[in-house]
């Protein structure tokens, strides 16, 4: 991050950390590399200092730095213990998964010191069963994602304003720091183009610079968080970088589509995508699944399961994958508009995660509902389509929702303006919903 640039707030995540401040659980912030975890720790440090915590009470260690990356877990423990005196300590460990047996140090510090511990990591291996045995019930996960559309507006120094409209009461416009006005749809197209990685705001909304930044993120995720990690773990080996890239491209090209490990292998072989690589012939389904799991663990893709509405159970077959950031997808595949519907689905899926929902695909007989979103108190049925103007599309989107017999909210998100209601089912403008 540009050191001269003031940290932009990520209130959604900062407020979660503040809510857990000075509680026993270790706070573990997870998410893909460069989604803002390090900046979030800095924001919390700022908050602590503004609220009476002295700098001497705070220990920050970033294990991407040469100062710390070659430490052993014992050395981490000794380093921190020497810095902690009589007052309560606030300990921040950034990308700690790079330290072998790091969980030993964290657990020992938790037991031996009067401290509040915050950890970040770019791999779900942080929360593996091995780690869980050390902290069973004594950790809380804060799942971090790239910028929402609302955050994208803020990070790029735009301001959202409501103005009078000749057609309908009010409309939203965007104003930049030079008081230049933009239609909200223009800025949303930029979000679909560049994605939500916070670093984009530092380099500016220019394709060459943005894609150079995304190239760096992609390469680092693949090398450090997948290939190197597998080598360190010494378990299943993800060693074929060509196969890994082909699977990434396949999943990027098929976001929101039903896929399986066997269908991926069949497609890669049928299209000759592995003929000139290091692998010969068809990779096994087990191998492909291991590679996909590594990508999910690195938060590059999210796997969404099907839920049988009548049977009230999750199904094991034919899930879907969504990419963590549309900008990364555009960098890898090039810009194109032919699968815009699935891109919009991807945006909505990530937003539902941000809002704290568990999300599944709804299966109802031979029909499908894009998302069933549930939390402790609520359930929401969501369809996503670019337009509802055509009658055939309206029928396709409405019918499965009409067949659900419960009274939970049912919405269809579309790029059409305004809000329409069909027998209690709301059609809402997708961009307005993102900003709500």
DSSP string, 314-374: EEEEEEEEEES-HHHHHHHH----TTHHHHHHHHHHHHHHHTT-EEEEEEETTEEEEEEEE
- pLDDT of 3: 44
Render pLDDT for 15-36 as a digit per residue (tens, 0 to 9). Answer: 999 999 999 999 999 999 999 9
Q: Which two tokens stand for residue 87?
A: 């007052």
CB 267 within 8 A of CB 253: no
3-state SS, residue 151: helix
Counting as low any pLDDT under 70, the low residues of the chain are 1-5, 126-136, 167-168, 230-236, 273-282
The upper half-sphere exposure of residue 129, i.e. CA atoms within 13 Å in the direction of its Cβ, equals 0
CB 414 within 8 A of CB 391: no
- pLDDT of 5: 61
- Token pair 């000749």 in the structure block, residue: 166
Taking CB atoms within 8 Å and a gap of at least 24, the contacts of 312-320 are: 314/360, 315/363, 317/260, 318/258, 318/259, 318/260, 319/258, 319/259, 319/361, 320/255, 320/256, 320/257, 320/258, 320/259, 320/361
CB 362 within 8 A of CB 400: yes
CB 359 within 8 A of CB 352: yes
- pLDDT of 78: 97
Which helix (H) or strand (E) is 224 found in, with range?
A: none
- pLDDT of 138: 84
Percent above pLDDT 90 for the chain: 71
Alpha helices in 6-146 (DSSP H): 11-20, 37-50, 73-83, 102-112, 129-135
- Interatomic CA distance for residues 126 and 116, integer angstroms: 18
3-state SS, residue 79: helix
Q: Any residues with CB less than 8 A from the CB of 333 and at least 6 apart, and which?
A: 249, 252, 253
């Amino acid at each position: 991050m540009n050191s001269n640039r003031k940290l932009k707030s990520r209130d959604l995540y900062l407020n979660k950390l503040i809510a857990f401040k000075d509680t026993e659980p270790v706070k573990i912030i997870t998410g893909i590399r460069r989604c803002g975890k390090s900046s979030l720790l800095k924001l919390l440090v700022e908050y602590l200092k503004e609220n009476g915590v002295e700098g001497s009470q705070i220990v920050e260690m970033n294990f991407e730095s040469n100062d710390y990356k070659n430490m052993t877990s014992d050395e981490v423990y000794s380093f921190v213990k020497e810095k902690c005196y009589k007052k309560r300590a606030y300990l921040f460990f950034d990308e700690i998964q790079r330290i072998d047996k790091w969980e030993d140090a964290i657990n020992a510090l938790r037991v031996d010191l009067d401290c509040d511990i915050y950890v970040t990591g770019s791999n779900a291996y942080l929360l593996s069963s091995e780690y869980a045995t050390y902290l069973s019930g004594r950790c809380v996960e804060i799942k971090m994602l790239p910028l929402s559309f609302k955050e994208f507006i803020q990070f790029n120094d735009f301001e959202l304003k409501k103005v009078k409209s000749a057609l309908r009461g009010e409309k939203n416009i965007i104003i930049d720091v030079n008081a230049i006005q933009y239609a909200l749809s223009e800025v949303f197209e930029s979000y679909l183009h560049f994605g939500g990685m916070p670093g984009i705001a530092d380099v500016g909304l220019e394709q060459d610079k943005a894609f150079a930044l995304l190239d760096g993120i992609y390469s680092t995720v693949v090398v450090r968080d997948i290939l190197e990690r597998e080598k360190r773990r010494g378990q299943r080996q993800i060693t074929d970088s060509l196969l890994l890239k082909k699977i990434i491209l396949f999943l990027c090209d098929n976001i929101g589509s039903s896929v399986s490990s066997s269908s991926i292998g069949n497609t890669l072989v049928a299209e000759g995508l592995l003929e000139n690589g290091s692998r010969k012939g068809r990779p096994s389904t087990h191998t492909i699944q291991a590679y996909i799991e590594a990508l999910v663990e690195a938060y590059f893709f999210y796997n969404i399961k099907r839920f049988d509405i009548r049977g009230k159970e999750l199904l094991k077959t034919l899930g879907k994958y969504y990419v963590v950031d549309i900008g990364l997808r555009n960098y890898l595949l090039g810009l194109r508009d032919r699968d815009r519907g699935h891109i919009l689905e991807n945006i909505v899926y990530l937003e539902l995660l941000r809002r704290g929902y568990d999300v599944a695909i709804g299966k109802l007989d031979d029909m499908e509902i894009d998302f069933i979103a549930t939390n402790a108190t609520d359930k929401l049925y969501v369809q996503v389509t670019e337009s509802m103007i055509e009658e055939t599309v309206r029928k396709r989107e409405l019918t499965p929702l009409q067949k659900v017999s419960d009274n939970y909210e049912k919405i269809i998100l579309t790029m059409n303006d305004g809000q329409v209601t069909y027998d209690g089912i709301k059609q809402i403008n997708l961009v307005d919903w993102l900003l709500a």
